[in-house]
Structure 1
């Protein structure tokens, strides 16, 4: 999967906003001000960092060479996925969608309701 494809996919989530708060190297995706994905490069390799349940993260890290604990993030709650690895595009999209849903589930009720109106 290419970074541009992933960015197009992430932009489709209701309420998703992209910005560069950490500089031009890291494109951060947020919903209602809460981060759910970070797209960037490390040592010339395109990567995405997404939120996950701790048990899921441990399992994924143990099963895939292209998934490591979150780079510069809380390693229990975030994983970093190499886009050019043994993780296929469908799984990257699924993990990004689960990250978005996890973040939305922790939002205030009013924010969740406003996203529901938008189609979540």
Structure 2
């Protein structure tokens, strides 16, 4: 996957917005105003940061050297993922999981607004 594919996949999800709140190189994708994915457009190979369940984070880090605790983020809940060498299915699963975790933390009012949009 490349940056455009990741972006297109994320923007196809309900309620997703994109911005550059930190700098001109780090694209942030949010659902309901909360971050679920960060993507460094300057780094090669492409690197994303996603939110993951803490238990799954440990498992992922043990199984895949491309997955580490996210830089500048809570390493218990966020992973940096170097796209290089990971299969597309796992990458999509990580994106979906991050989106779902963040979506579930939204208020029911915001969730309903997104669902009914």
TM-score (norm: length of structure 2) = 0.94
In 1, distance between residues paired with 2:20 and 2:81?
19
TM-score (norm 1): 0.92
Gaps of 5+ in 2: none
Taking a change above 3 Å as real, the CA distance of residues 28 and 43 of structure 1, as seen in their structure-2 partners, is closer
Task: Spell out the pairing of 1:19-34 with structure 2 (5 A cutoff).
Answer: 19-34=19-34
The residue aligned with 1:75 is 75
Q: Which residue of 2 aligns with 1:109?
A: 108
1:58 and 2:47 matched: no
C-alpha contact (below 8 Å) 2:32/2:114 kept by paired residues: no
Give the structure 2 partner of residue 13 of structure 1.
13
Q: Deviations over 1:71-106 (max 9, x none)?
A: 221000001111112x21111111101100100101
Q: CA RMSD in A?
A: 1.2
**Aligned residues of 1:25 and 1:40 also touching (Cα < 8 A):** yes
Name 1:100's counterpart in structure 2: 99
| Aligned-pair CA distance for 1:41 | 4.6
Aligned residues: 117
In structure 1, runs of 5+ residues without a counterpart are none
Aligned position for 1:84? 84
